[in-house]
Structure 1
């Protein structure tokens, strides 16, 4: 199976916090998942922990490499830039990742994250959805020590909602 591409400074285990969530489900494909993930305006419809998504430079709603956007999650106002965007196809996984940040640089409330997704078709009609996030900064240290872990639980909610929305779209293709 494929792995996330990590930029320098964000390698898991070398940051202040790391969350990894994965689902492998039958009956869905990367083509079912990708439109719901790549179109950021879809997120609040299936993931309650995302809100107020905005795009800059007349871009959006579908993410693309280099694109700047804003959203709110886990109580943080996140400015973000899409740093990787590859649609799934021809046996290759879909990849989307963004660098996100909240708070003023150089302050104790600064949070920097690299949030990456990998969506790949597997044999026997299965799809694998992997989301991983590394975080740096004092808020990341606090999140890493919190139990239950809000990042693991929140990202699981995102995966669960994504799969549920894809199944609903599959059953009602005219209501996408």
Structure 2
């Protein structure tokens, strides 16, 4: 199976916190899943843990390669930049990744790398994988919580994305 393109600094297992979530589904169109993921105007319709989303390109709600944006998640105000953006076409695996951060001192500084892969599998199935690796004291504190809020939150993101897509882009 394909994997995330990690830089050495964010290699899972070497950071203060990391999680991996995956869904395999059928009866969904990969292009629709992709469009619902990269269109930030849809995030709050299927994932309640991403709010106050602001893109640097104001006339488009879809993420673009190298674009910066801001959103709130897990109680943190995150500034981010898109590091990887590859649409699903001609059998290519779709990839979306961003570097996110919260500036601060040694107690509040927070850096993350969050990535998604979407790939077609046999028999009309689609695999969605999201992984995030975090550095900083807030990340270390998150990793000690039980249940793990990041693991559960990212699973809600994937589950919500699939359900929203299968429901034709409508909230229930």
TM-score range, shorter chain: over 0.9
Shift of 1:40: 1.3
Q: Residue in 2 aligned with 1:110?
A: 109
Q: Residue in 1 aligned with 2:120?
A: 121
Gaps (5+ residues) in structure 1?
Answer: none
Q: CA–CA distance in 1 between the matches of 2:166 and 2:58?
A: 31
Point out 4+ residue stretches in structure 1 off by more than 3 angstroms.
Answer: 57-60
CA displacement, residues 30-70 of structure 1 (integer Å, 9 cap, x when unaligned): 21200110111210110011101001154641111110000
Q: CA–CA distance in 2 between the matches of 1:60 and 1:79?
A: 18
CA displacement, residues 108-167 of structure 1 (integer Å, 9 cap, x when unaligned): 111100000000111101000000000000000001110000010000110111011001
Partners of 1:64 and 1:84 within 8 A in 2: no
Gaps (5+ residues) in structure 2?
Answer: none
1:42 aligns with 2:11: no
Shift of 1:103: 3.1
Q: CA–CA distance in 2 between the matches of 1:127 and 1:157?
A: 17
Q: Residue in 2 aligned with 1:5?
A: 5
Q: How does 1:67-146 map to 2 (within 5 A)?
A: 67-104=67-104, 106-146=105-145
Q: CA–CA distance in 1 between the matches of 2:22 and 2:57?
A: 33
CA displacement, residues 62-104 of structure 1 (integer Å, 9 cap, x when unaligned): 1111100000000000000000000011111100000001132
Q: Let me know the Cα RMSD of the aligned residues.
A: 1.5
Structure 2 CA distance for partners of 1:29 and 1:2, relative to 1, 3 Å: farther
Q: CA–CA distance in 1 between the matches of 2:166 and 2:76?
A: 30
Q: CA–CA distance in 1 between the matches of 2:136 and 2:76?
A: 13
Q: Secondary structure at the match of 2:44?
A: helix
Q: Residue in 2 aligned with 1:18?
A: 18
Q: CA–CA distance in 1 between the matches of 2:7 and 2:43?
A: 25
Structure 2 CA distance for partners of 1:92 and 1:135, relative to 1, 3 Å: same
How many residues align? The count is 171
